[in-house]
Amino acid sequence: MELTRSMENYLETLYRLSSHGIVKTSDLSSRMNVRPASVTQMLKRLHEMGLVIYHPYLGAELTDEGREIAEMVIRRHMILEC
C-alpha cells in the first residue's frame, strides 16, 4: 500500500493521541495545525483505505492495520533521529 508522507503523519498523530480511544477531529486539527475540513477529508480517505474507522462528527480511531503502520512510521522516525 502506497502512503503519502501526509497520510503517514496523520496515522502517527492519531496513534499518539489515541490513548483514550476516538480522537476528535478538532484535536487532530489543532495538533497538526491544519483546518478541520482538511482533517475530515484525510480521515475519509484513510477510512476508505481501511486504516481508520471514521465516526462523523466525533473523530476517528485506528484499525489494527492502521495501528501497525503508525507503529512502523514511529519506529522509522526514531531510527532516523539516532
For residue 20, the model assigns a pLDDT of 76
pTM: 0.91
Q: Residue 29: which CATH number?
A: 1.10.10.10
**For residues 17 and 59, what is the distance between their CA atoms, to the nearest angstrom?**
11
What's the structural domain count of the chain? 1
For residue 7, the model assigns a pLDDT of 97
Would you place residue 82 in the very low, low, confident or very high pLDDT band (cuts 50, 70, 90)?
A: low
Q: 32-68 burial, b for 16+ CB within 10 Å, e for fewer?
A: bebeeeebbebbebbbebebbebeeeebbbbbeebbe
Range of the domain at 42: 5-81
**For residues 40 and 59, what is the distance between their CA atoms, to the nearest angstrom?**
8
For residue 77, the model assigns a pLDDT of 75
**For residues 12 and 72, what is the distance between their CA atoms, to the nearest angstrom?**
9
